[in-house]
Chains A and B, each alone.
Chain A
Amino acid sequence: MRFQLTEEQRALRDGTRKLLDGRFGRDRLRAAVDEPALDRALWRELGAAGFFALRLPEEAGGVGLGLPEAVLVFEEAGRALLPGPLVACELLAGVVDGVAAGERTAGLCEGSAEEVLWEHPADCDELILVEGGGRDARDAPGRAEGVYRSAPDRVAWTPFASVDPLTPLARVTDFPRGAPLGGPDPSRLRREAALLTAAQQVGSAVRTVEAAVGHARERTQFGVPIGSFQAVKHLCAQMLVRAEMARSAVYAAAVTEGALDVTGAKLLADEAAVRNARDCLQVHGGMGFTWEAEVHLHLKRAWLRAARWGVAAEAEEALAADLID
């Protein structure tokens, strides 16, 4: 058992971090807040760098890596707050034309969710609906289980002001099912979507620990750095504990690909991202409450991710059921 990053995995993580630092640094993040339309040039650059083709076999022009590598890359995306239909494009690369190269984008909707949400509705070239495939009671028998495509211009939707300024959202009111999509089955799509979402939550949770710790070292009050106060220290320590718990759970789920491992990992990663962002905001004081600080962007994206691909209540029920199964 070698539950550690290999040299290659470390290099992939570091390379991704560098790539995102260069292409989507703080200035780009801020600019994107004012102009949330998807940056197609950036998307193509990511495509060219192999971001979406990571798990495609080499014969198909992909990088030929596995889920653990995708998780490491998505952790970095979460850390950088990279916006866009990332999960959808990663999972549909090789299935929907042009997605692997970053030339076209695809959206992925959870058909069994209470309300079907669509991320980046104005920027998707193709929309895919996943129905069934969960342990959820709402996946009522008789309901069509499968993965369907639809042309975005035939889907009826109502936009609303997304809480995350970088992720425009819409409610889908009518989804005309086109041809079933060949390729991954619904349960695998859901599982992998949940895992990649959880990986981004881990990246965000780790980033907010660093931000809090960085601020706590710099900011002085009462003549000393606020990080020397135990109340602040203990907030930071708990942030690290949450991030480390979530990280080991997410990495393990990437290795086992087990449905319950993913469910538990998503639950802990959601909690780590949301609570760490809140604690980070607290450590930043008044500055944390401003539009200028990045903390609110982490919190809002964390809320959004926590609401997708399995919410806490469902996860806890599934994990409880597992105890007596």
Chain B
Amino acid sequence: MDLAYTEEERAFRARLRDWLASVLPTLPARPDPRDWPARRAYDTAWQRMLYDAGYADVHWDAAPTIRLIFLEETERAGAPYVGANFVGLLHAGPTIAVEGTPAQRQRWLPPVLRGDEVWCQGFSEPDAGSDLASLRTRAVRDGDDYVVTGAKIWTSHAEVADWCELLVRTDPDAPRHRGLTWLALPMDAPGVTVRPLRTLAGTAEFAEVFLDEVRVPAGNRVGAENDGWRVTMVTLSFERGTAFVGEVVACRRVLGALARAARANGRWDDAVLRRRLGRLNADFAALWRLIQWNVSEAAAAAAGRGASTAPGGSGGVPGAGGSVFKLRYSHARQELYDAAAEVLGAGALDAGHEWVADRLSSLSYTIAAGTSQIQQNIVAERILGLPKGR
């Protein structure tokens, strides 16, 4: 049991730190959060810079410690976050890396790494959220194509995405989980309509996606027909297990900033607030330790399986432990920004303040990627082995 870094890991950290120091000052100003096309351009340009410098595939590296170092250093340096590349880099890409054919990996992975193509996630439907397996969007095989009809909802970044990881029903007669298929849908295909939805934060973060007899080549199917539920579980375990890891570093930085702001404006004298911040310090430190534990476990498992290090290799798929992390993290993040509101006082009513905007968006964390109630069911049933029930 150790937390020591190897020579190679320390060298990686030093190299990355130097590189960040040299490129970050050259970045343009961050775009307005309401301007999605500008955000896409900004996020993909950053991804391209990472690609050119040889850091693009760090999220898929089979040495997960390297990824943790990357997240720590980029956050510490104030580098841009993945943004519009979230789905492609953090769960669609990794899913294709694990489940795709060599040709599919060749087709889809390099453009994600280069920042040329942006992905979105089309799982949820108006009548299928927590109960995802009840989804109704249909795909009917017609020659070399699937013809897809239905509607998706809450599709983040849909407005600016090139591809969508789409879950569809291919066998309506099979038991719910058995008739689903995972497809890569080109968002510019005829019959795809995107209607942005306004979030409580006022921005169009996600959208409804209507699919009207959209033709998707059968070659875009990842995994076998009707085996989409299993592939989806791989996607979700990446989403819950690893996708939020970098944000923990960001939260720790915000926590320090909150404390300093409270000291500057006198609220630090309030022992109740001070103790809340102290407790959050313990929480985020422990979340980071839990990540290190999970990552070491995944690394050990991957080494046991002899997984390759290439982005096309089968890097460690995180287990149900990701639900333990997500449960605590999503609540801690909300507690953090509630504390921020106390520090801000009346300033907490200024929606233009970064912390207030983040407070609003933190409300989604206990819902998106599986609600806290669903995560608790998963922990209870899959980890603790309690019986299924209502």
Contacts and interface: CB of A to CB of B under 8 A. Distances in A.
Interface in B18-42: none
Given A213-B384, A233-B377, A264-B281, A245 B3 contact: no
A320 B259 contact: yes
A254 B259 CA distance: 27
Interface stretch (B172-180, B225-233, B293-301, B309-317): B293-301
A2 B65 CA distance: 9
B387 interface: yes
A187 interface: no
Interface stretch (B90-98, B112-120, B270-278): B270-278
Nearest to A249: B286
B282 A227 contact: no
Interface stretch (A112-120, A140-148, A286-294, A311-319): A311-319
Contacts of A237: 327, 375-377, 379-380, 384
Contacts of B377: 230, 233-234, 237
Determine the main DSSP class of A at the interface with B.
helix
A261 interface: yes
A265 B279 CA distance: 11
Interface in A206-248: 209, 213, 216-217, 224-225, 227-230, 232-234, 236-238, 240-241, 244-246, 248
Contacts of B297: 4
B334 to A, nearest CB: 15
A2 B2 contact: yes
Contacts of A224: 387, 389
Interface residues of B, number: 57
B296 A4 contact: yes
Interface residues of A, number: 53
A129 B373 CA distance: 48
Interface string A129-154: 00000000000000000000000000
B324 interface: yes
A179 interface: no
Determine the main DSSP class of B at the interface with A.
helix
A216 B65 CA distance: 38
Given A1-B296, A230-B390, A233-B376, A213 B385 contact: yes
B9 interface: yes
Contact of A236 (B4, B278, B292, B386): B386
A252 B380 contact: no
Contacts of B271: 317
Contacts of B6: 1
Contacts of B268: 324
A228 B282 contact: no
A4 B327 contact: no
B255 interface: yes
A233 B292 contact: no
A229, A252, A256, most chain B CB atoms within 10 A: A252
B1 A324 contact: no
A1 B259 contact: no
Contacts of B293: 3-4, 248, 251
Given A245-B290, A249-B285, A240 B383 contact: yes
Nearest to B286: A249
B296 A319 contact: no
A161 interface: no
